[in-house]
Amino acid sequence: MSVLVGKKAPSFKTKAVINGGDIVENYSLDQFIGKKTVVLFFYPKDFTFVCPTELFAFQEKLKEFESKNVALIACSTDSEQSHWGWLQVKKKNGGIKGITYPILADIDKTISMNYDVLFGNYDVDENENISATGPMIAFRGLFIIDKEGIVQHQLVNHLPLGRNVDEVLRMVDALHHHEENGEVCPANWQKGKESIKESHESVASYLAKQ
């Protein structure tokens, strides 16, 4: 598993469904450079069970992400048509109607491969026959990318393990606090709590208060 933290986020252009039903071409993260923090999260498959709980959990916090100047974007290895179809189905029937943030179509699996969250690999035998090991879908990967396009946070869960959206918001707050104040955020830090200047005296003072 590659660690992308501190590196430029892999670039791509792909089809996406935006606003709950509009299919667009050549969707790219480049549009946010210098403008917004990006939260890009991968999920395994459309029309499944844990995935819609995550998608709706992120939707419920969408306004909070937007208030922090964050672009929230989802991605799976399904096609844009599959995304569109799932978005037309009501929640009570197993669909995700009501999701409005972009959902990227990574049908050729290159985005998942470049972010190293693809569950499986392609193999070529001595006869040049191609086979796949694993289901070839995305793990539950999540990346926080700063305005300069640099990955600042990376989290990858196995398929059965849903994520905590509040923790993603906490990490966004921590990143923004560091960017704005130059201070570092200790364990369990929450927005509005004390942070630490990078000096032994500051750390000692902080620990003494705990």
137 with 45, same domain: the answer is yes
Q: State the DSSP code for 90.
A: -
- Non-local CB neighbours of 168 within 8 Å, separated by 6+ positions: 39, 41, 142, 144
Q: Which domain holds residue 22?
A: 14-162
How far is Cα 204 from Cα 144, in angstroms, rounded to an integer? 30
CATH number of the domain enclosing 109: 3.40.30.10
User: Computed from CA positions of residues 101, 47, 57, 113, in that sequence, does the dihedral angle turn out positive or negative?
Assistant: negative
Catalytic residue list contains 75:
no
24 with 120, same domain: the answer is yes
For 9-66, what is each residue's pLDDT tens digit? 999 999 999 999 999 999 999 999 999 999 999 999 999 999 999 999 999 999 999 9
How far is Cα 50 from Cα 1, in angstroms, rounded to an integer? 23
State the number of CA atoms in the 13 A half-sphere of 70 facing the CB: 27
120 with 180, same domain: the answer is no
In a domain, 135, yes or no: yes
Q: Using pLDDT thresholds of 50, 70 and 90, give the confidence band for residue 205.
A: low
79 within 8 A of 86, measured Cβ to Cβ: no
166 has a pLDDT exceeding 80:
yes
157 with 169, same domain: the answer is no
Q: State the DSSP code for 140.
A: E
Residue 202 pLDDT: 52
110 with 20, same domain: the answer is yes
Out of 9, 38, 51, 71, the active site residue is 51
Q: Using pLDDT thresholds of 50, 70 and 90, give the confidence band for residue 209.
A: low
pTM of the model: 0.92
